Structure 1
Amino acid sequence: MNQTYTFKKTQNNFDFIRFIAAVGVLFSHSYDLQNKDSLEPLRNLTANHLSFSFYGVRIFFIISGFLILKSALNSSSFVNYLTKRALRIFPGLCIALLISVFLFGLSVTRLPILDYLTQPQTYAYLLNLSLYHSQQGLPGVFDTVNNSPIVNGSLWTLVYEFTFYLLLYFALRLKLLRTSFVLLITFCLLIVLDLKLQNTDIINNYYPSLNMSPGPFIEFSIYFMAGMLFQYYQDRFPITKNLGSTAVVLFIASNLFLDFPYSRVINYLLLPYVVFYLSFIKGSLNNFGKYGDFSYGIYIYSFPLQQILLQLLPEISVALFAFLSLIVVSPFAYFSWFIVEKPMIRLKSRKTIIYENPISLPV
């Protein structure tokens, strides 16, 4: 029998999949930080086009689009919605930045401690909390590891995530998404735009005032919108074992054997389906979240901790480096969830309904 899966909040694997996505980012960074990025298994199989971190980040955006749309529709006001979103991102990030400056940085800086503490750059690093400001380095920190002064190479995606939160709310409020069909058309047009811009310099332009570039903005928005579309059509979108298994096979085959731009389009269309197919399989992983949601903590702490580890063990093998990185980051992820993130989430308002029928699903 071809079983059809249902979308139930209490029966999904989102927490487990996000955990795997965060570990995938950590795994790829284990190669990047040792200048062995071309040896990363997925990069090796796909002519250096794809990686575990590539998929990890995009999975975050897909699941986020699905969940954040529901959050927007169930918020009583913009302040209520923004408060919920801010409580999810900023407390954990704030503590991570403070730990990076006053624990990690202070421990490994090449400068005398007093010099480090009196440098304006030390405290300017905390401005990364705004998301729209970027300072990648700290004085004398990690500038001899991989010849890279970047303290935390994972934080750059957070500004896109938060920007999508804002744009989603105002799109709903201004009734720009009167029907899900409008979103579907926008989704398709952005895919076309993304493909058209791939051979231009526009996608690589960096705008410091926004801390964003057009290429990642367009690409991440497509995956975020894919999650939103699944939220809109959740009651009528077929997710079955046969379709899911076929999607997984086609997805893997397209990335191994198809060149750009075909593989890129396949990713846009099939990766979201594969993610939700795996998300709604019933089983013991549905309860993974009862142990905690450690994905954010792994994501925001792993990069600086990996660099410290590499500074201590410069000749370490990649496999051992990845394994020890996960071991080392686990207490920080645990701390982030139970001491910082979870208490903040409890402060979220439970009020519902922001608009009367803001979106009409097609019949």
Structure 2
Amino acid sequence: MAVPAFLAISGFLVLKSLLESGSLFEFFGKRILRVMPALLFSFFLCLALFDWSMAWNSILNWATGGLYTLPMRANGPLWSLLWEEIAYIGLALLWSVGAYRHPTAIWALLLVAIGIAWANSGLDPHARMLLFLPVAFLVGNLMYIHREPLMRINPLVPLVAIYVMIQWRYVPDAKSMGGVNLLLVQAFAVVWAGIAGAKLLPWRIPDISYGVYIYHWPVLAFLSDRFQITSLSGLLFWTAMILVPLCIFSWYAIERPALTMKRHLSTFGRYFSRDGAAPAE
């Protein structure tokens, strides 16, 4: 369940971004600068590698959250971005009413979201996935709120949590609660490993995770269609050979330059009031 894992990470990072912003205007401005430039480039990539129909259908897939697309190929992963953007709005609304000053309110919302996802476990897979997203996002929120004790743990422990997540399928009734229990383990383990786990590389790498997420499908489809590469090993190798340089290019040529514009947002944002408060630890 890659999409809920991304939403859990987003729940952590976006709450941090909101609390570091001087206003909601600045917060949403930063979100637009982070999401839209690479997203627009992904539409261009679909056009360059395929045709107008795939580019247009990819736009529809993003704009409708996967609920409506034409009967032709689209960049599949883009459907989840709309729901993440809706989560930003929900986060801002909760912050505006002071919910994050009371972590018990966020815990209560998480329990409600879990109950709804569990009660509707008989829905089709896409509908169930949509119900998983608020659960994952709220887990990320709560891990940011309680980040200090989590980050004091030995950095090897979060990696053990990742191992437990990988082996979870062998646990009896691993998919009980309609898969919600697996979702909770995954969301917690992924975020925890990201914020407190042992660093596996001794150097910093560019932030290419977003690029990997939105560019990988067009690259895979292009290799499969145009070069008839169908073996798993071949697709993984050649996708990595193309995708990593593409994402590095995107980071340095598109994403990072766009993010430098964030410094101008506070100038405009001072005209907007800020009434929220940081959550209790």
| TM-score, length basis structure 1 | 0.65
State the 1:357 CA deviation: 5.8
Letter in 1 for 2:12: F
Does structure 2 conserve the Cα–Cα contact (< 8 Å) formed by 1:66 and 1:228? yes
Letter in 2 for 1:75: S
State the 1:288 CA deviation: 3.0
In 1, Cα distance between equivalents of 2:74 and 2:246 = 16
In 1, Cα distance between equivalents of 2:60 and 2:224 = 24
Change (3 A) 1:104 1:253: closer
The answer for the alignment partner of 1:285 in structure 2 is: 201
Change (3 A) 1:267 1:324: same
Q: Relative to total residues, which structure has the larger helix share, 1 or 2?
A: 2
Does structure 2 conserve the Cα–Cα contact (< 8 Å) formed by 1:91 and 1:341? yes
In 1, Cα distance between equivalents of 2:228 and 2:59 = 31
State the 1:128 CA deviation: 4.1
The answer for the alignment partner of 2:49 in structure 1 is: 104
State the 1:188 CA deviation: 1.6
Aligned-residue sequence identity (percent) comes to 22
Question: Aligned to 2:34, what secondary structure does the other structure show?
Answer: helix
Does structure 2 conserve the Cα–Cα contact (< 8 Å) formed by 1:254 and 1:263? no
State the 1:161 CA deviation: 1.1
RMSD, matched Cα: 3.1
Letter in 2 for 1:344: A
Does structure 1 conserve the Cα–Cα contact (< 8 Å) formed by 2:10 and 2:140? yes
The answer for the alignment partner of 1:332 in structure 2 is: 246
The answer for the alignment partner of 1:308 in structure 2 is: 222
In 1, Cα distance between equivalents of 2:231 and 2:143 = 41
Question: Aligned to 2:147, what secondary structure does the other structure show?
Answer: coil
1:181-192 aligned within 5 A: 181-192=104-115
In 1, Cα distance between equivalents of 2:65 and 2:181 = 34
In 2, Cα distance between equivalents of 1:317 and 1:122 = 24
1:1-363 aligned within 5 A: 54=1, 56-101=2-47, 103-106=48-51, 124-125=56-57, 127-128=59-60, 131-132=63-64, 136=69, 149-200=72-123, 213=127, 215-237=128-150, 239-240=153-154, 244=158, 247-248=161-162, 250-259=164-173, 260-261=175-176, 264-279=179-194, 280-283=196-199, 285=201, 287-289=203-205, 292-314=206-228, 316-349=230-263, 351=266, 355=274, 358-361=277-280
In 2, Cα distance between equivalents of 1:253 and 1:339 = 39
> Which structure 2 segments of 5+ residues have no match?
none
Letter in 1 for 2:63: L
In 1, Cα distance between equivalents of 2:82 and 2:260 = 24
In 1, Cα distance between equivalents of 2:211 and 2:44 = 14
State the 1:332 CA deviation: 2.1
Does structure 1 conserve the Cα–Cα contact (< 8 Å) formed by 2:97 and 2:276? no
In 2, Cα distance between equivalents of 1:264 and 1:122 = 33
State the 1:62 CA deviation: 1.5
Change (3 A) 1:64 1:123: closer
Letter in 1 for 2:90: L
State the 1:359 CA deviation: 4.5
| TM-score, length basis structure 2 | 0.82
The answer for the alignment partner of 1:3 in structure 2 is: none
Does structure 2 conserve the Cα–Cα contact (< 8 Å) formed by 1:254 and 1:266? no
Does structure 2 conserve the Cα–Cα contact (< 8 Å) formed by 1:98 and 1:126? no
Does structure 2 conserve the Cα–Cα contact (< 8 Å) formed by 1:239 and 1:277? no
State the 1:254 CA deviation: 2.9
Larger radius of gyration: 1
Number of equivalenced pairs = 272
Letter in 2 for 1:222: V
Per-residue CA shift, 1:134-186, capped at 9, x if unaligned? 6756xxxxxxxxxx832311111111111111110111012244401110111
Per-residue CA shift, 1:74-119, capped at 9, x if unaligned? 1122221111000111111112112312x1124xxxxxxxxx7xxx
In 1, Cα distance between equivalents of 2:60 and 2:119 = 32
Letter in 1 for 2:26: N
Question: Aligned to 2:11, what secondary structure does the other structure show?
Answer: helix
